Structures are given as C-alpha cells and as structure tokens.
Amino acid sequence: MNTQTLTAGALIGLLGAASLMTTVSAHSLGTEASLTEAQAIEIALAEVPGTVEETELERDDGQLIYEIEILSADGTETEIEISAKTGEILEIEQEG
C-alpha cells in the first residue's frame, strides 16, 4: 500500500515538474520573439481570413516561429508559420 502511495506521489511530482518546464520554456521563447502573438495572428488573418483555432510559439529548424491554425468559413483548415523575429510568412499549408 505504501509503495502505491509513493509511486503515485512520484508520478504527480514528475508531471508537475514537466508542466513547470514547459511553462518556463514557453516563457523563454516568448522573450526571444520580436513579434507578439497578437501581431502574428494579425499577419496570419490578413493572409487567410477565418477563426484562429490554435497558436503556438516554437522552435523549428533552429528558427523561432508562430504556428497558427485557422479555420475558414468554408471549413478549410490552414496552418501558417510566421517568423517570430521578422513577421515573414514562412509556410502556408491547407488541409481538407
């Protein structure tokens, strides 16, 4: 019984640590970006009108990017990658 309690406690501790590391990592990336999330969304919506479904700041091939998923009125899903440093649209990928 005590082993199960210790195992559950250790698992909860690991999950909490992983969550904290993700938060710290996302914050660190945010301080490197020249563009805010709102600016990146504005650029994306100017290119592809619709509803923003998800926005993510990440490092891709050593470059900091905003990845923005937009759902158009006709149901088309579009993913736009924007440089977080320059605001340049790097890639547009439509699905469906």
Query: Which pTM value belongs to this model?
Result: 0.68
Residue-wise pLDDT for 6-18, tens only, equals 454 444 554 455 4
Domain identity same for 90 and 50: yes
Domain identity same for 19 and 48: no
Domain that holds residue 69: 34-96
Domain identity same for 23 and 58: no
Residue-wise pLDDT for 72-93, tens only, equals 999 999 999 999 999 999 999 9
Inter-residue contact 43 to 89 (CB < 8 Å): yes
In 57-88, which positions are buried (b, 16+ CB within 10 angstroms) versus exposed (e)? Answer: beeeeeebbbbbbbbeeeeeebbbbbbbeeee
| Domain count across the chain | 2
